[in-house]
Chains A and B, each alone.
Chain A
């Protein structure tokens, strides 16, 4: 389980220079949402991957450089789409309010 420290998931053990990381947290107000699903869609809207959020509402993808959409589904919430740009060597941090 990842730590819930401010500033996002721990990057211990990840060679950030080699990866195009997209990560973040799903929040309802100030409360993390631990039972949400985050889908990674490519620039054409095609499904690429999906992860359930951790108990602290966090998620992470190892993407490729480019434009992506994060689609978040959670109980009793509307679906939320957020655009994000991934770059090699950069960790894109995304907060998703629902």
Chain B
């Protein structure tokens, strides 16, 4: 993957508003944003109710994902373009999710909803009508999803990238300042993880920085490009943003997102935890 295939500009989206092959999908942390206005033709995905199993902590299964996309009128041959608020956190999460279930042609709108709004581009409250499809998903691609045991084994072996804010990394906060403090039992970070806040990869308007700037950012933070990488945050959405940067923009093949992230790791019994601004020892 590369910037040319994984990312589209607001101009590109504007030009493809009436393209029947393209399906725009809005995914927001604030699931009511779409209802206040969205890009013409865009459908909504609710990450809390539609992408999460409602009983256990996991994603919807393959059959549920197929039923979801079929009902939304998304076909296997559609170009899915995701966008959302919060600098595309949840849109990147959905991008990773679509990749997890094997959708071939998925892209992210650079800058997401914010860039679209700052450009004073049009939003509508008109709901699109799409015919139902028969969507077929693939089995989950576990090569892009990390689970807890692998994370513990990767300490001191693989690149671990903690993309939360410095205060969360150090253990001074358990969640971002504007969100409810959904909490792990312990604060801190996984020993040896580099702290590269997701925000460093984005410009103020939410667009991604250039490939050269991104490569330099992670290199300076100590990411060894010869090793496999696992990105994590609190619940796996900000780390999807970084996963997107490392794998889809910079073309690193072996990058996984740990969606259990700190809310799981910080509640595990017996695992090592580092406090403070230093990465800590393996």
Give the B-binding residues of A (Cβ under 8 A): 35, 37, 39-40, 42, 46-52, 61-64, 71, 73-76, 79
Contact = CB atoms under 8 A, between A and B. Distances in A.
Given A73-B204, A74-B118, 15 more contacts: A35-B117, A39-B204, A42-B166, A46-B165, A46-B197, A46-B199, A47-B197, A48-B167, A50-B86, A50-B87, A51-B178, A63-B177, A71-B204, A75-B118, A75-B120
A76 to B, nearest CB: 6
A35 B123 CA distance: 12
Contact of B120 (A42, A46, A50, A76): A76
Contacts of A39: 204
B198 to A, nearest CB: 9
B241 interface: no
B114 interface: yes
B86 A73 contact: no
A35 to B, nearest CB: 5
Interface in B119-139: 119-120
A63 B167 CA distance: 11
Contacts of B114: 37, 52, 73
A61 B200 CA distance: 20
Nearest to B37: A35
A71 B114 CA distance: 14
A39 B205 CA distance: 11
B176 interface: yes
Nearest to A71: B204
A62 B178 contact: yes
Main secondary structure on A side of the interface with B: strand
A40 B165 CA distance: 12
Contact of B199 (A47, A51, A61, A63): A47
A48 B119 contact: no
B34 to A, nearest CB: 13
Contacts of A35: 117
A75 B199 CA distance: 21
A71 B205 CA distance: 11
B104 to A, nearest CB: 32
21 contacts: A37-B114, A37-B117, A39-B204, A40-B177, A46-B165, A46-B166, A46-B199, A47-B200, A49-B176, A61-B178, A62-B178, A64-B172, A64-B173, A64-B177, A73-B118, A73-B204, A73-B205, A75-B119, A75-B120, A76-B120, A79-B204
B85 interface: yes
Contacts of B85: 52
A76 B119 CA distance: 8
A48 B117 contact: no
B234 to A, nearest CB: 13
Contacts of A51: 178
A62 B176 CA distance: 10
Nearest to A76: B120
A37 B87 CA distance: 11
Contacts of A49: 176-178
